Amino acid sequence: MLTEWWRRGAVTAAVGVLSVSLAACGEPDDNAPHPGEPSPKAMVLRLATTDQVTSLDPAGPYGVASRTVQANLYQTLLTIMPGKPTPVPDAADCQFDSPTTYTCSLKEGLKFPNGHELTSSDVKFSFERLLKLKTPNGPAPLFSSLTSVSTPDDLTAVFHLKSPDARLPYLLTTTAGSIVDEEYYPANKLLDTKAMGSGPYQLAAYRPGERIMLARFDGYRGPRGPQNDGADITFVKDSTALYQAVTTGKTDLAFHRFGPNLLDKLRTSDQVQLVESDSAAIQFYAFHMKSLTSRKLAVRRAFAQLLDRQTLVKRVYGDHVAPLFSLVPPGFGGQVDAFKTEYKQPNKTAAAAILKEAGIVVPVPLTVGWTPVQYGTTAKAEVLELKRQLDASGLFRVTLRNADWPEYQTLARAGAYDVYYGSWIPEYPDADDYLAPFVQAGGGFQNGYRSSAAAKLLQQETTEQNGLERDDLIGQLQGVLAKEVPAVPAWQSRFTVAAGKDIENVPAALNPLSFLYLSGLRK
């Protein structure tokens, strides 16, 4: 009933706009419905996902599941379009006036769906609110270099920084940089189930944990004008339900967590199109420096020398993921395959020499932590393959220990394992966000690793304004991490969606950060 009500409303709104247009020009429209003919059916896309949205508020918890919804409801100052690696204007055109001053000139006539004008005051409010709320697991730390936003006039917002921050244009493309209506949002609390943004869509209905409906917002002025009338997104419980929804035609597009077996079945199905692109998500093995074993550089380097990514990926994932030879995956500025350069091919003799030179007795006992649900059904198969490789070398004796997700996070942070299995999806589309979590004090993966060389390079690349020089610094930093091995990259995932064969423009909808831009989709 909710779907039918919403569709009728969308059609009625469209007809109302058409009538106003005709009255204004005073001429007949050959494409308009003639008296007695039915109104055109709204093109509403049906989506299904295993995601669980935690908040519609862009200042709320910064999870991947929420980004698909937020990215379509809100407008940002800058955005990144398919095939373009650098930010382009969305709500504004921006530039550095100095290393610590960044000015954004807003487009004229921007509005929110409630009719309120979008001005520089809303921009200032949005960022000040984000920093004030400091939501746990929220995106406020992304803008730690920001001191204030000034508004010389209604169309100008000036960002003032504590120190030069070359990442700022990329940060402004994220949902964390969404502009909200200052007359709608409270300054001191989240609105988890409501939304008022100026993006391509507006919120039509929301039942947390069940479904969300987005309606086309015709007032959007940016590069992502919708080619459809809206989206009806259903949240399903597991990969089987996801598979059934798309193969039976109950949904137009399904995404996230199919698993290799179901993806293989979808590839041979004549009912759907399977679209894959490189994802920004990576999997890795991190050492914790509280472990006396992991503190030994030779142990970490021997591990890195032995890991056979090609075999691991082939045996566990087929061709659904790609071997990864740096903590920064291909496609990001400054990326180099640092671990391939440092360790060449997997080599037992070379690993044995590393341990022997350090006077380490073999086999080295090594406890590897993992969790059975969070990383999918194949996580167990992967750690078993890792154990097989390391044990077979005779240089390590691996013990696997697992825990459910909440407990696992606590144990991993506390140093309960010598090595723990982890994943990362960057919060902003820049190589820095793969490096800072391991190097920066207070970063996401605090495993006790400290390196003056790495810290210096991180600070230099963050402040460097010249793109080519910054890429070189990022490359050098990856080299240091390959030599000192706080973590060993394993593989890069792919973002895969299944869609009906009548759905167009699916590849352009996939964002590497694992969310979808819906505006280009049509059927």
What's the pLDDT band for 37 if we cut at 50, 70, 90? low
Q: What are residue 495's DSSP bridge partners?
A: 277
- HEC string for 182-203: CCCCCCCCCCCCCCCCCCCEEE
H or E element at residue 278: strand 272-287
Residues 4-28 have a mean pLDDT of 33
Q: Please report the pLDDT score of residue 10 as a whole number.
A: 37
Q: Could you tell me the maximum CA-CA distance found in the chain, to the nearest angstrom?
A: 90
Give the span between the Cα atoms of 7 and 5, in whole angstroms.
6
What was the pLDDT predicted at 11? Answer: 32
Q: Compute the average pLDDT of residues 299-303.
A: 98
Q: Specify the 3-state DSSP secondary structure of 262.
A: helix
User: For residue 25, is pLDDT > 50?
Assistant: no
Average of per-residue pLDDT values in the chain: 90
DSSP-derived pairing of the beta strands 272-287 and 487-500: antiparallel
DSSP state of 502: T
Mean pLDDT for 416-437 is 93
Confidence class for position 17, pLDDT limits 50, 70, 90 = very low
Q: Which domains does the chain have, with CATH numbers?
A: 76-177 (3.90.76.10), 279-493 (3.10.105.10)
Cβ count near 462 (within 10 Å): 21
Three-state secondary structure call for residue 283: strand
Distance CA 290, CA 274 (A): 44
Lowest mean pLDDT among 10-14, 132-136, 412-416, 440-444: 10-14
Query: Which residues contact residue 224 at a Cβ distance below 8 angstroms, ignoring those fewer than 6 apart?
Result: 79, 90, 199, 200, 517, 519, 520
pLDDT higher than threshold 90 for residue 2: no
Confidence of residue 36 (pLDDT cuts 50, 70, 90): low
pLDDT at 365: 98
pLDDT of residue 506 exceeding 80, the answer is yes
pLDDT score of 7 more than 60: no
**Cβ pair 198, 182 in contact under 8 A:** no
CB half-sphere exposure, 108, CA atoms < 13 A: 0
Gap between the Cα atoms of 334 and 456, Å rounded: 16
Mean pLDDT for 386-406 is: 97
Instruction: Give bridge partners of residue 438 from the DSSP assignment.
Output: none
The answer to whether residue 34 scores a pLDDT higher than 80 is: no
DSSP state at residue 41: P
Kindly give the interhelix angle for 432-439 and 467-484, rounded to the nearest 10 degrees: 40
User: Tell me, what's the pLDDT at 281?
Assistant: 92
> Which range is least confidently modeled, 81-85, 211-215, 330-334?
81-85
Does residue 425 register a pLDDT over 90? no
